[in-house]
Amino acid sequence: MPCDTSLRRLILDRIIIHVDMDCYYASVEMRDDPSLRDRPVIVLSPSDQIQVVGTCNYPAREIGLHSGMSVAEAKMMCPDGAFINGDLRKYRAVSEELHRLWSEYTDLMQPVMLDEAYLDVTHTAGSIDEARRFAHEIQRRVREEMGMGCSVGLGYNMVSAKTGSEEMKPNGYFEILSRQDFIDLMEDRGVSEVNSIGPRTAEKLYQAGIRTVGDVRENRSVAANLLGSQAQRILDLCDGIDDRVVTPHNPEDSRSISRSMTFLSDVDDYWLLSDVMFLICVDIANKLAEHNRYGGGVFVIGAYSDRSQFSANRTAKGCKDAMDIHEVAMALFDTIPFRSVRRIGISVYNLSKADSSQTTLDSLMGPQDDRSELDSRLESIRKRYGLEHLSPEDVDRDTIRSIAEHMRTHRGR
């Protein structure tokens, strides 16, 4: 913990816990096979035909392995490691168990991907001492009931709680209970260590000689001029100010479904981009079907290799299947000047609930033809990129980057 807080009475407006599983995919595998616990464990994402490291445990990280590394390179660096094909269905099932456990401590839980979540325990804990008990109990139960480790941060807002969970990994606990505690801790840290400050923003600051959180605070006007519309948020974060509220996610209340990915290298192959965009559309269509929704418009957004952005959108009533979404998305993409692309994303917006009569009509007349077209398109992608097994269910936000990177590196082979 930071400076001793036991001698002062703390009354916080909000008490936030951030729980972050340590090396999540690898931890699940080590739990299921205890013989792996003392070995470097490398989980491939999502299968052995996608030659990218998904995640790895700490012994593997100490050797220098990391997410996104090619499996060939990882095997050269760590020939004795345990290389495991990722099983996302299993990881999702375990994630649901974790979320159920965490939700016992509050109704205000905001999951982040599969392996972490924010918990607002202001009212359920009622005091710092009780919140500490919650935090330690969560760690104990995750270890004893789930067989895995997690790191927990306790904070006065979301950025302080997230910073706390990062501070003592793995299996750590750290609390940051005031702005001054946050400032004292982060003053000499690099700007990239502040949650929500990404590589591009950090690079802008580095180029101006602003390298630490303290530098940002001492050069507020310079930082503000560099950062444009996001300046106030970045300055606030460096001051330990974060007004976000923990918001439980209800997919049925969403007004849009968006997916995007950033390539590890620039892509100047139009047809490869089209295929990747199709897989993004498959993922979006899966979510629309899961929640019985139709879209009212399609939005395409991305960034070129020089990081300048592009976008285009148009209304498209009743769009719901991957083929239709992709057709609109590519029509929009074709209106944009074509250059090397680093990031691409698609959003279907103005969602509405499908009415029962339309659903019944579709069930009687449409799905078999739609599925046949979908299967045909996926089969062509499988053959083009050497993907032996690729079904619509394999494509989602947790796998899309790995699949796309495989496609990029195997194009034309």
Question: Residue written as tokens 């899309």?
Answer: 400
Q: Considering Cα of 350, then 353, then 358, then 363, what sign does the dihedral take? A: positive
Of the listed 29, 62, 104, 116, which one is catalytic? 116
| Catalytic status, residue 116 | yes
Alpha-carbon distance of 351 to 332, in angstroms, equals 19
DSSP string covering 259-273: EEEEEEEEE--HHHH
Alpha-carbon distance of 163 to 399, in angstroms, equals 27
336 residue type, one letter: I
Beta bridge partners, 56, equal 42
Instruction: Please check whether residue 42 is in contact with residue 65, taking contact to mean a CB–CB distance below 8 angstroms.
Output: yes
Q: Considering Cα of 400, then 401, then 406, then 408, what sign does the dihedral take? A: positive
Instruction: Please check whether residue 159 is in contact with residue 189, taking contact to mean a CB–CB distance below 8 angstroms.
Output: no
DSSP string covering 81-150: SEEEE--HHHHHHHHHHHHHHHGGG-S-EEEETTTEEEEE-HHHH-SHHHHHHHHHHHHHHHHHHHS--E
Beta bridge partners, 153, equal 18, 174
Question: Residue written as tokens 């089209």?
Answer: 274
Alpha-carbon distance of 161 to 19, in angstroms, equals 9
Closest CA to 298 of 332, 254, 338: 332
What contacts 205, CB < 8 A, 6 or more positions away?
191, 211, 215, 216, 223, 226, 227
Query: What residues are annotated to the active site?
Result: 116
